[in-house]
Amino acid sequence: MSDHTQAVARFRAGLSAFADALRGATAEETSFAPAPGKWNIRQLARHVADTEIVVSMRMRQIVAEDSPTLIPFDQEKWAAHLGYETADAFDSLGRFQSLREDTARLLETLPAEAFSRVGIHPERGAKPLLEWVQLFGNHVFTHADQIRGIRETWSKK
């Protein structure tokens, strides 16, 4: 299996990883912050959904444009100003799933050479599409693990 095929498969697998991490969570549980200053599940879920908006745009830019400049975003400001605290985790999951499915389908149709196309990020530098797919494929698993950890802490309180 090629590198890009493996990366796209992991990217797609984020769909079930995120859903599995949230399965059965209660509203009270999703509001629980594991420590002062740490995000709760609602905030994490909304962050994952909003990041997917950015991911979707960036990957399309890389595929369609020549060496596009990718705009950074401040996740803390997004969380503070975009209602993360009151976001419904399952609504965020649905938004994420729709966006991720659409982008995964696009990636699955691309020829191998498309994964060498580059996007230029002011903070991360010039990176090929393959690295962006790997980075954001892993991003969801990181947050799914955080959600599982918060749920475990919740269950012991």
Count of positions (residues) in the chain: 157
* Cα angle 38-143-151, degrees, rounded to a multiple of 5: 65
pLDDT-derived band of residue 35, with 50, 70 and 90 as boundaries?
confident
Residue with the larger pLDDT of the pair 34 and 25: 25
Classify residue 151 by burial, with Cβ atoms within 10 Å: 0-12, 13-18, 19+.
buried
The stretches of 32-157 forming alpha helices (DSSP H) are 41-64, 75-81, 89-109, 129-155
Give me the pLDDT at residue 52, please.
Answer: 97
pLDDT-derived band of residue 34, with 50, 70 and 90 as boundaries?
confident
pLDDT-derived band of residue 113, with 50, 70 and 90 as boundaries?
very high
In contact, 36 and 121? CB cutoff 8 Å = no
**Bridge partners for 126 per DSSP:** 120
In contact, 25 and 41? CB cutoff 8 Å = yes
Spatial distance between the Cα atoms of 55 and 100, rounded to a whole number of angstroms:
9
Both structure tokens of 61:
């830019």
Whether the pTM exceeds 0.75: the reply is yes
pLDDT tens by residue, 52-81: 999 999 999 999 999 999 999 999 999 999
pLDDT-derived band of residue 1, with 50, 70 and 90 as boundaries?
confident
Percent of the chain with pLDDT over 70: 100
Give me the pLDDT at residue 118, please.
Answer: 98
pLDDT-derived band of residue 157, with 50, 70 and 90 as boundaries?
confident
Percent of the chain with pLDDT over 90: 94
Q: What is the DSSP track for 63-99?
A: HHSSSPBPPP--HHHHHHHTTGGG--HHHHHHHHHHH
**pLDDT at 38 exceeding the cut of 80:** yes
How confident is the prediction for the chain on average, in pLDDT? 96
Spatial distance between the Cα atoms of 52 and 95, rounded to a whole number of angstroms:
9
